[in-house]
Chains A and B, each alone.
Chain A
Amino acid sequence: MNIVVLVKQVPDSGTQRSLDPSDNTVARAGADNVVNEIDEYAIEEALTVKEAQGGEVTVLTVGPASATDAIRKALSMGADKAVHVVDDAIHGSCAIQTSAILAAALQQMEYDLVLTGATSTDGQVAVMPALLAERLGIPQVSGAQKLTVEGSTVKVNRQTDGGYWALEAPLPAIVSTWDTINEPRYPSFKGIMAAKKKPVETKSLADLGIDPSTVGLASATSSVLDFAGRPPKGEGVKVNDEGDGAQKFVEYLASQKIV
């Protein structure tokens, strides 16, 4: 069983994040860059499947040179090897362009199952599994809260607001995971020490046979025109309870369309 996990490095969603005002792309310099939080669940699921059935877990990432930290984290959790697509021309690529790069990289790899987090905390586009399924001609199952592999079939409980759908797809397939699927492990000290010795293959656009002019900010299908910071928190409303506190409270909630 060859499992490929798509991993993205993003600015830590628990910290102050911004866009770079020079070109409106994600500001990475100065940010605390980490593995996209939901991708850690995909890594954990890949390791769980591997531990049950054997096989190999490969991490695939598209990102700047500094994304090696994200790769390292995945390897220290227990992934076996990694492919890092890095090329200056990729900067500012939209989801469609990125999917072309990932698909080209996947076509050079052997995979039975592709796993990824359901969305990234920076772009929050959440379309990568669908785009890749289309490009690779394989089934996609999105938003898994449970996953099992039985023979050449992947069975997935797809999370919905009210419960789940039980779905299955023939392998090879791509599955995206939610943070309800498992509890990702922490890297162990032994895992961290071993990670450095694991193979990381670096690929450029040329290695993937992609024309650099077809990717990047200049030819992106979508781009950010403008952005603004979150407005500061208001002072709040103070209500003195003169016997009608409950009524005023409900009126306030109604005025905010909360009830």
Chain B
Amino acid sequence: MDADDFEQIRKAVRQLVREEVIPREEEIDLDDRIPEELRGAIADMGLFGYALPEEYGGLGVNMKEDVELAFEFGYTTPAFRSLFGTNNGIAGQVIAKFGSEEQKQRYLPRLAAGELIGSFALTEAEAGSDPAGLRTTARRDGDGWVISGSKRYITNAPLADLFVVFARSDPEERGGRGISSFVVDAKAPGVSLGAKDKKMGQSGAWTSEVFFDEVRVPADALVGEEGRGYSKALTVLSRGRLHIAAMCVGMAQRVLDESVAYAATAKQGGAPIGRFQLVQALIADMHTELVAGRALVRDVAARYDSGEDTSVGPSAAKLFCSEMVGRATDRAVQVHGGLGYLRTTPVERFYRDARLYRLYEGTSEVQRVIIGGGLLRAAGMPRS
């Protein structure tokens, strides 16, 4: 996409976020839902498919463009991005990158238009970033497969029309081998959902458990090669990590803006609190770490697009930016004083929302393992 076109797209997204979403953040938080008309506006703009390939109705952004959009998405409640995040992210990308032509034709245009919501079902009680404990099974049955097991913390599950499910198709294999991915219709007999999870933050973004009880799927539900599902998941997850790093930068910018605006006007002892150098220090630290994070994300995105680094870089960006936004939201509450502890103050909400960033798409600990292990293996250290 040429830079001029992309700039128009970024501006349109910024306008939608600032005019339509930010004024409704509190409503979204209290009602725990994205209003129907906002979902319509999101679909009309094309946000459900911005990262899906152009030939299937998407916009086909590269990571350099993706992170610039995520800076904008991150400036408001994460529930906004969450609604269209799985279509563009982990669920949609598996189909776009590894699906057959027939699967792409069947799902991608409708995912891009927002007519279908796709959800990515990998995480289980004993398997998240480490697939060794993945218990969900897929067993051959005639032409098709039978899937059994349960998944946890599945984003958009209560809204999903389809699940991209990871299941062990070869019980003899261990670890990441022998795992396959399948597209499963959410209405298929045997698919059921747990209650919507009650979370610390990110209200309006729904997750739940998903149960697969002897769910029969046809042979063409298998996405890509049998037994290679987990390696697929890894490539998609690293893209998602970089995206989340950019979301963190967007949120850090927002809480910095909120803090600067507050410190410039709120008074103590007759003077704006921004006159106090210790308040200035909080703002300076937020700003300094924010610009470092933004520069890191942009650099990693360029290296991702060139193919130079699709693993260590995204993890480093996600580790730094998710920890950074944790500190930023904490300082933002501090700048706001007692007001920052009240439910109606945006920084209080972002403080709770930010906590998830250090957990999902791989915890900070897992990112460190990927970074450290990646560097050491590149230096010749054997895998085990």
A→B interface (CB under 8 Å): 72-73, 76, 185-190, 192-193, 195-196
Contact = CB atoms under 8 A, between A and B. Distances in A.
Contact of A186 (B5, B44, B50, B59): B44
Interface string B173-190: 000000000000000000
B52 to A, nearest CB: 11
Interface residues of B, number: 15
Interface string B7-18: 011001001100
B45 interface: yes
Given A186-B15, A186-B16, A192 B8 contact: yes
B44 A76 contact: no
Interface of B: 1, 4-5, 8-9, 12, 15-16, 41, 44-47, 50, 59
B8 A186 contact: no
B15 A189 contact: no
A192 B65 CA distance: 15
B41 A189 contact: no
Nearest to A76: B8
A189 B5 CA distance: 9
A180 B47 CA distance: 27
A72 B41 contact: no
A69 to B, nearest CB: 9
Nearest to A190: B46
12 contacts: A76-B12, A185-B44, A186-B15, A186-B44, A188-B45, A189-B9, A189-B12, A189-B45, A189-B46, A189-B59, A192-B12, A196-B4
A177 to B, nearest CB: 19
B100 to A, nearest CB: 26
A72 B44 contact: no
B133 to A, nearest CB: 40
Contacts of A189: 9, 12, 45-47, 50, 59
A195 B4 CA distance: 11
Nearest to B49: A189
A192 B9 contact: yes
A72 B16 contact: no
Nearest to B43: A188
Contacts of B46: 188-190
Given A188-B12, A195-B8, 8 more contacts: A72-B8, A186-B12, A188-B46, A189-B50, A190-B46, A192-B12, A193-B5, A196-B5
Nearest to B58: A189
Contacts of A187: 8, 12, 45
B341 to A, nearest CB: 27
A187 B45 CA distance: 7
Nearest to A185: B44
Contacts of A73: 8
Contacts of A190: 46
Most buried by A among B8, B15, B16, B59: B8
Instruction: Among A187, A188, A189, find the residue whose CB has the most chain B CB atoms closer than 10 A.
Output: A189
A186 B9 contact: no
A73 B9 CA distance: 11
Contacts of B12: 76, 186-189, 192
Q: Which 4 A-B pairs have the closest CB atoms?
A: A189-B46, A192-B8, A189-B59, A188-B46
A36 B1 CA distance: 28
B68 to A, nearest CB: 14
A185 B43 CA distance: 12
A142 to B, nearest CB: 27
Contacts of A196: 4-5
Contacts of A195: 8
Nearest to B61: A189
